[in-house]
Structure 1
Amino acid sequence: MTNPQGTKTTGDTILIAYDGSEQSKAAIEYAGRFLSTTKAYILTVWEPIQRQTARAAGMSGMMQHEWKSECDNPAQDDPAYAEAVATCTQGVEFAHQNGFETEPFLVESATAVWSAIVDAAEELQVDLIVTGTRALSGWKSILQTSVSDSIIKHAGRPVLIVPPLNEEDE
């Protein structure tokens, strides 16, 4: 099998974007039910707390201070990193319960979440990206960019998007 970039692929490795939400859990469940592959990377994207704070201050119009670009030891210095590790670990365990041989993969987001997911898929040379979606509609869909739409547009590989579950689906 060859992917759109012309690289030979084995067809048996997927990347599942996991943020701890019900949508990401549904993505794991559906992938476990419908895909024959069992090799999966569980990807959690995280943003350093100082970047989150700077972005929030910028949106509020407050003056932004000079922020240290990276923590010396994110495992000890950044609560966002610790939360991402816990989330990814939860995703790995949940994916294992759904039949996957998993490997955790944490990525620091420098720009947009979708970009971090696409870059990770390229780095890991996965054959398929699996993700959930909030399925925004109405004004929210106009005002907010959809991560899943951006992944589809930029991934250069197949993407499985699992929509939110309805109450009847559970």
Structure 2
Amino acid sequence: MSVVLIAYDGTSNARRAVNYAARFLAAKRVVVLTVWTPIRSGPDPVSVDLDGPPDPIEDDPEEEHDIAYSDALRTNEEGTKLAVTAGMNAEPMLVPVQGTIWRAIINAADRIDADLVVSGTRGTTGLRSLLQSSVADHVLRHGRRPVLIVPPGH
């Protein structure tokens, strides 16, 4: 195997998936993917300012900061560090979601031509599993690549 994509969202199930990938897979390249949802500011700032005169509007694009991106970056750094510590040659990848998370994972896997996608899952069962398909399940059903789904630990 040469390219493995690990979907990583910072949950204990995602950490478990990283550990299983490190334990059982030999890959030349491992990409740790975190999909994030941008927080878009509205078209018009709040018109009522209760603390006095209006705050100055910053025109500097460096000042525009998406906290969702910062959170995703921290999550991805954690996952990449976990993979490297486990002995994998891992690199980070962040992708903003523009539809569904599972579609973003499939598109990222296609973009890097991944040989395998690794994902943890919530492990829901019964009626709940019928009502809530997991992201991993959608990647498995809709993607064209092999998928290793690591169930939650006990």
TM normalised by structure 1 equals 0.75
Greater helix proportion = 1
The answer to whether residue 7 in structure 2 is matched with residue 31 in structure 1 is no
Cross-structure match for 1:120:
108
Q: Deviations over 1:113-154 (max 9, x none)?
A: 100000000001111000100011233223222111110112
Work out the number of aligned pairs and report it: 139
Deviation at 1:50, TM superposition (A): 3.2
Structure 2 spans left out of the alignment, 5+ residues: 45-59
Query: Taking structure 1 as reference, are residues 106 and 156 closer, same or farther at Cα in structure 2, changes over 3 Å only?
Result: same
Q: Deviations over 1:66-117 (max 9, x none)?
A: 68xxxx9598421000000111011110000111111110000011110000
Cross-structure match for 2:8:
18
Q: What is the CA RMSD across the aligned residues, in angstroms?
A: 2.1
The answer to whether residue 70 in structure 2 is matched with residue 82 in structure 1 is yes
- Find the aligned partners of 1:158 and 1:145 in 2 and give their Cα distance: 18
Cross-structure match for 1:43:
33
- Find the aligned partners of 2:92 and 2:24 in 1 and give their Cα distance: 21
Match of 2:137 among 149, 164, 168: 149
Greater Rg over alpha carbons, structure: 2
Match of 1:132 among 107, 120, 124: 120
TM normalised by structure 2 equals 0.83
Structure 1 spans left out of the alignment, 5+ residues: 1-10, 52-64
- Find the aligned partners of 2:72 and 2:61 in 1 and give their Cα distance: 14
- Find the aligned partners of 1:48 and 1:75 in 2 and give their Cα distance: 16
Share of identical aligned residues, percent? 42
